[in-house]
């Protein structure tokens, strides 16, 4: 593994941990040349998931794109990056459990909506406003009323 600081390939593993579902290995490493520490993640390479967009276009599932959307919704909220990472991991794991490699974007969006609704109401509304394409204040009011009613 190449050091991201000095590009040396001489590193050692200080700590290795598996995630609870055994899908990801986290390694804490130290560069033997510069002494700096960094973390690497090892994931099982799975067949690509193809996302079918609303307009019927297809694109490869992009974990970082999903994470970015959730991070934006959670901006300035008391939600840790570890929590966001766990949400993304859980959604990706569920998507990979489907028998098909083509998944509608609406399914992914609903998974995020469900997670955020139980986690943080403000993050939920932020994500829903983009995902459900609110175009006026009445759309927000309707969603807020649904949220207040617990629907």
pLDDT tens per residue across span 31-63: 999 999 999 988 777 678 999 999 999 999 999
pLDDT exceeds 60 at position 126:
yes
pLDDT at 1: 86
pLDDT tens per residue across span 89-122: 999 989 988 888 899 999 999 999 999 999 999 9
Whether 119 contacts 83, CB under 8 Å? yes
CA dist 68 and 78 (Å) reads 16
pLDDT at 9: 95
pLDDT at 101: 87
pLDDT band at 150; cut points 50, 70, 90: low
DSSP string, 49-118: PEEE-TTS-EEE--HHHHHHHHHHHTTTSS--HHHHHHHHHHHHHHHHHSS-SEEEHHHHHHHHHHHHHH
pLDDT tens per residue across span 61-98: 999 999 999 999 999 999 999 999 999 999 998 998 88
CA dist 140 and 117 (Å) reads 15
What tokens does 120 get? 């943080």
pLDDT exceeds 80 at position 19:
no
pLDDT exceeds 80 at position 149:
no
pLDDT at 74: 97
Comparing 151 with 101, the larger pLDDT belongs to 101
Which uninterrupted H or E stretch holds 15?
A: strand 11-18
């Amino acid at each position: 593994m190449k050091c991201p600081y000095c590009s040396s390939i001489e590193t050692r593993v200080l700590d290795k941990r598996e995630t609870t579902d055994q899908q990801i290995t986290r390694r804490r490493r130290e560069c033997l040349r510069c002494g700096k520490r960094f973390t690497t993640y090892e994931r099982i390479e799975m067949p690509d998931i193809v996302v079918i967009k609303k307009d019927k276009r297809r694109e490869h599932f992009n974990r970082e794109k999903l994470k970015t959307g959730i991070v934006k919704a959670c901006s300035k909220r008391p939600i840790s990056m570890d929590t966001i990472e766990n949400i993304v991991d859980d959604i990706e794991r569920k998507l990979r459990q489907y028998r098909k490699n083509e998944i509608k974007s609406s399914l992914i969006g609903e998974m995020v909506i469900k997670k955020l609704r139980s986690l943080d109401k403000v993050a939920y509304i932020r994500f829903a406003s983009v995902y459900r394409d609110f175009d006026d204040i009445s759309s927000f009011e309707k969603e807020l009323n649904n949220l207040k009613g617990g629907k």
